[in-house]
Structure 1
């Protein structure tokens, strides 16, 4: 039943177009058939039966898209009867052409070919038996053109439509996949930001809390300083976390992001935990691309957080080197270098979530990250980030 009806039901606009086409072919057929009879001596004169057959064939077209097989059957029977009765060749054949084209466009190729073949065989009846002059075998080729040509055109149109539909579907799938990939990348980026913000803040708070607990029984006045530092650090971490999560709710990029300009504040914050950070800048500081600036800051922040957590030392050194076409940051300490943040120094930084996050940031920008113990003791984190030259 679906095959008989064709693929996809037409709307009222298509039905209106088909009805208009039917009226045009009906009017043209009734007017032009009289003229065709005058130019075809020996054909049967146009009479009421001729006009009825023309009307039947034309008025079947308004439903051609809904029931293409039924439309072709009605048009073929009317056209064959018209020709067998000996009426002149005329516009009724245009109606047959439209019916064959519709079958080729709307139905599967095999079914359309069988239907067109059956219609063609029936149409050939008039070639060998007619009340008018029968053309015989010489009429087979001209008659076949009325079936073969519209069938070929309809098949080509159908194939092109299917190819276009497949292409659009593939494009839609590609867009959906790209959207999913971008969403995944954004989620990973936000997760990495949250890890860096929360991880560093909690490490600093934990160290400051230990200091406060140690000082509280003996020197409570100094414990107040540590508690104040805890309050300040937690407030700053919460503010930055709020900005990061706000970007998720807005579905847009964040506004101002942390950068190397905040290293002095980071150094002062860590000083409150007992970790003295020496900050050294080489070259002339300049404005950097936001992604590079953020990645460099996060590398330094994560490296210092690891020093605070695992190194067991009271000092570290940060070196920022502004070069012509790249930026390098280096964090070194003289603490325990055997293992940091789940990282085995022998694997050069493939393990551990924090250091793995550093590597992902640096790799995404086309840079290079080196992580591992120093030959003279301690630990070293070194990142090289490419920076495009200004025009």
Structure 2
């Protein structure tokens, strides 16, 4: 019975990040210059903050020019143009952080080299390089900061002789230390912000991956449940339908019995399928009916008998946690279904044993096998292995030397008892 084949044939799904498409904002160049994920940042330009910063830089620089700052050159059209370039470039700091970092650095360096008054122009460099660092462009940001700092040192201690204003003097090294301290502090804060943002991004990715993994595991669980329910019930229906058709004319009473069995099997199958679907519609609610377990082995024996298979049960089932109890029941159910579908034997034995901290389920039939996929080599056997593996157990299935077939399941009882304790404690 192939139900949702693609979900139940493989093991646990492996998730990998999808390839990033080269969208319209992709740009060639070295990885530190521009990356393909630039489009992931804000799509709207930061007009308000850029306008506020531009006003602050213009007004602050104008106020500094009124003080003339020990003979610095007065502001002119070129000075205001440099201030507008440095401030206006910040409008694209989210989309193009690397070019903005270099534009602000070069504009501020030229501004200082022209001898204009010190002022908030330093703020444009800080914001531009900060944006590059936070965006992960560390090499570009450090290079832009280095260009500005080196330019400042050259202008303040060597080029001042040939640059305006005339008659200027070298800056003190104490002042240079203060500037260096500010640069180091700014870079340290930017690095901390970058590291924290990367940590948040990793945590979000891990949460998303965990959610996808849980969804995939739940899908596989639903596929196994549907397969086990439908495979068993429809096998019984198929056998009884054949009996009814064969005896419809010669033995109407026996045909009626077969139809009654078909009705009961289909009703039970619909009930279990409805229970599975209810868990999909209300994932947070408890199921309306208890999940089947080894306590329902007598019902399973009766269903197998209605399909013409006599089942002998040996041993007593212990108390198990709900997950282990359901897995054990489904394993026995699938094994008996395979006997009905793929074995010429009309008798099967189910042996239940406990010992050495494990539950052992052994299902045997005498054979011979019928059909190419005798023994249940498809989704049913894969589902049994997945159920056992989820509990830390194992499944062995194969032909016996005498021509029959055996399924041996070993499920650890320790994991089951721990699960029971957790459920009682509400964990």
Tell me the TM-score range normalised by the shorter chain. 0.7 to 0.9
Say whether 1:379 aligns with 2:405.
Answer: yes
Which among 373, 377, 385 is matched to residue 359 of structure 1?
Answer: 385
Contact 2:109 2:148 (C-alpha < 8 Å) held by counterparts:
no
Cα drift, residue 356 of structure 1: 2.3
Say whether 1:95 aligns with 2:95.
Answer: no
Q: Secondary structure at the residue paired with 2:207?
A: helix
- Scaled by the length of structure 2, the TM-score of the pair is 0.67
Superposed CA offset, 1:168-193 (max 9, x none): 43443333333333332222222221
Q: Which runs of 5 or more residues in structure 1 are unaligned?
A: 38-42, 84-91, 344-348
Q: Secondary structure at the residue paired with 1:384?
A: strand
| Cα distance in 2 for residues equivalent to 1:275 and 1:377 | 18
The residue number in structure 2 matching 1:335 is: 367
Select the structure of larger CA radius of gyration.
1
Contact 2:342 2:374 (C-alpha < 8 Å) held by counterparts:
no
Count residues in correspondence: 358
The residue number in structure 2 matching 1:257 is: 291
The residue number in structure 1 matching 2:250 is: 218
Cα drift, residue 225 of structure 1: 0.9
Q: Which runs of 5 or more residues in structure 2 are unaligned?
A: 1-26, 28-32, 92-99, 133-139, 422-427
- Scaled by the length of structure 1, the TM-score of the pair is 0.72
When the two chains are superposed, the root-mean-square deviation of aligned CA atoms in Å is 4.3
Say whether 1:196 aligns with 2:228.
Answer: yes
| Cα distance in 1 for residues equivalent to 2:253 and 2:235 | 23
State the structure with bigger RCO (CA 8 A, min sep 6), 1 or 2. Answer: 2
| Cα distance in 1 for residues equivalent to 2:265 and 2:206 | 45
Which among 309, 332, 337 is matched to residue 300 of structure 1?
Answer: 332
Residue correspondence of structure 1 range 142-221 to structure 2 within 5 A: 142=174, 144-145=176-177, 148-221=180-253
| Cα distance in 2 for residues equivalent to 1:335 and 1:342 | 10
The residue number in structure 2 matching 1:229 is: 261
| Cα distance in 1 for residues equivalent to 2:54 and 2:225 | 64
Cα drift, residue 299 of structure 1: 0.7
Which among 264, 267, 271 is matched to residue 305 of structure 2?
Answer: 271
Distance 1:354 1:99, change over 3 A: closer
The residue number in structure 2 matching 1:114 is: 147
Cα drift, residue 329 of structure 1: 1.7
Superposed CA offset, 1:294-322 (max 9, x none): 11011110111111122223322222234
Distance 1:203 1:77, change over 3 A: closer
| Cα distance in 2 for residues equivalent to 1:214 and 1:102 | 86
Cα drift, residue 21 of structure 1: 6.2
| Cα distance in 1 for residues equivalent to 2:128 and 2:324 | 62
